């Protein structure tokens, strides 16, 4: 595996690459992590995983449009820089919200799609309690200003069935600087339920084989959302529920990596 840096749409960008035996794979991370969350998958399948603007070691400018409308053009520019013409897409959390919006823009370029617990682009979805805090002016700023490493570790501990590895939470805190906190607040505040529903209005036009691996114990994205996502995409999608697993399902159930790799190799 190698780490690279370059300019994407005018922004300094950091990403990880690993060789694989199959076709190219793009991994998109969630919040508040970065490309490092995809390392276990990259090691298994190969692929490319960028730090999205505002996260990890990529630029975190004040004037970037931290919204679905802002990220999707940036992702298209990243595809050009990374040389990804036709590729498989694996997404998680906000990487799902952004990646599925991207896939609807360029459906003919997506070979296969794997969706782990992701921000749902579905009508009727209402944000979980942490997101509601971040979306509230004043309260969101207060929560960010008073965040501590110990508090962040306690909060993320609620996300999974088993306690998250210390190395995992340390990575979150390492990059949880002012720029990332600002990006999180702006992204969530730009993403009302109505915006999410509008961003998913063409999900049914995706024709690539799709596997949805949805955990049963995610406190933020409930188990009912997996089947709903599959229904929105249609007959090319199948959903497999991951029992005894939380938000970062592969940390509770390492076989999730095997299932992802097997699907990509079909």
pLDDT tens string 229-264: 999 999 999 999 999 999 999 999 999 999 999 999
Task: Name 215's bridge partners.
Answer: 242
Q: What is the pLDDT of residue 264?
A: 98
Q: What is the pLDDT of residue 151?
A: 86
Q: Residue 198, Cα to own-chain centre: how many angstroms?
A: 19
The answer to whether the CB of 220 falls within 8 A of the CB of 247 is: yes
Distance CA 234, CA 204 (A): 6
Measured N-to-C along each axis, helices 94-105 and 68-82 cross at an angle, to the nearest 10 degrees, of 70
Q: What is the pLDDT of residue 152?
A: 86
Angle at CA 95, nearest 5°, toward 208 and 157? 130
The residues, ordered by sequence, that sit 6+ positions from 233 with a Cβ below 8 Å of its Cβ are: 203, 204, 206, 210, 212
What would the mean pLDDT of 219-229 be, rounded to a whole number? 97
- Residue 252 tokens read as 């509770």
Instruction: State whether CATH 3.40.50.1820 applies to domain 2-265.
Output: yes
Share of the chain above pLDDT 90, in %: 95
Angle at CA 169, nearest 5°, toward 163 and 174? 175
- Asked if pLDDT for residue 154 goes beyond 90, the answer is no
Q: What is the pLDDT of residue 6?
A: 98
pLDDT tier at 125, thresholds 50, 70, 90? very high
The residues, ordered by sequence, that sit 6+ positions from 255 with a Cβ below 8 Å of its Cβ are: none
pLDDT tier at 106, thresholds 50, 70, 90? very high
Share of the chain above pLDDT 70, in %: 100
14-18, 160-164, 226-230: the lowest-pLDDT one: 160-164
- Asked if pLDDT for residue 68 goes beyond 90, the answer is yes
Q: Per DSSP, which regions of 84-134 are E strands? A: 87-93, 110-118
What value does the mean pLDDT of the chain take? 96
Cis amide prior to 32 (ω within 30 degrees): yes
pLDDT tier at 157, thresholds 50, 70, 90? confident
Distance CA 180, CA 131 (A): 15
pLDDT tier at 20, thresholds 50, 70, 90? very high
- Asked if pLDDT for residue 108 goes beyond 90, the answer is yes
């Amino acid at each position: 595996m190698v780490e690279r840096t370059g300019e994407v749409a005018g922004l300094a960008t950091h990403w990880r690459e690993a060789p694989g035996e199959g076709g190219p794979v793009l991994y998109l991370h969630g919040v508040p992590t970065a490309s490092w969350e995809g390392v276990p998958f990259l090691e298994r399948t190969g692929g490319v995983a960028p730090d999205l603007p505002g996260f990890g070691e990529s630029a975190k400018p004040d004037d970037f449009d931290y919204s679905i409308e802002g990220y999707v053009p940036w992702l298209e520019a990243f595809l050009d820089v990374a040389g990804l013409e036709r590729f498989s897409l694996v997404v998680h959390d906000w990487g799902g919200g952004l990646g599925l919006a991207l896939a609807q823009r360029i459906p003919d370029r997506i070979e296969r799609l794997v969706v782990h617990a992701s921000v749902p682009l579905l009508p009727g979805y209402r944000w979980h309690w942490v997101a509601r805090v971040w979306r509230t002016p004043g309260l969101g700023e207060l929560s960010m200003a008073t965040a501590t490493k110990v508090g962040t570790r306690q909060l993320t501990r609620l996300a999974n069935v088993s306690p998250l590895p210390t190395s995992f939470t340390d990575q979150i805190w390492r990059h949880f600087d002012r720029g990332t906190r600002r990006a999180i607040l702006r992204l969530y505040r730009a993403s009302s339920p109505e915006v999410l529903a509008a961003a998913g209005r063409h999900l049914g036009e995706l024709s690539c084989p799709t596997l949805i691996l949805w955990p049963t114990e995610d406190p933020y994205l409930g188990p009912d959302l997996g089947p709903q996502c599959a229904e929105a995409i249609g007959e090319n999608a199948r959903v497999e529920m991951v029992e005894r697993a939380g938000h970062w399902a592969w940390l509770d159930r390492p076989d999730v990596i095997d299932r992802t790799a097997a699907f990509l190799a079909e």
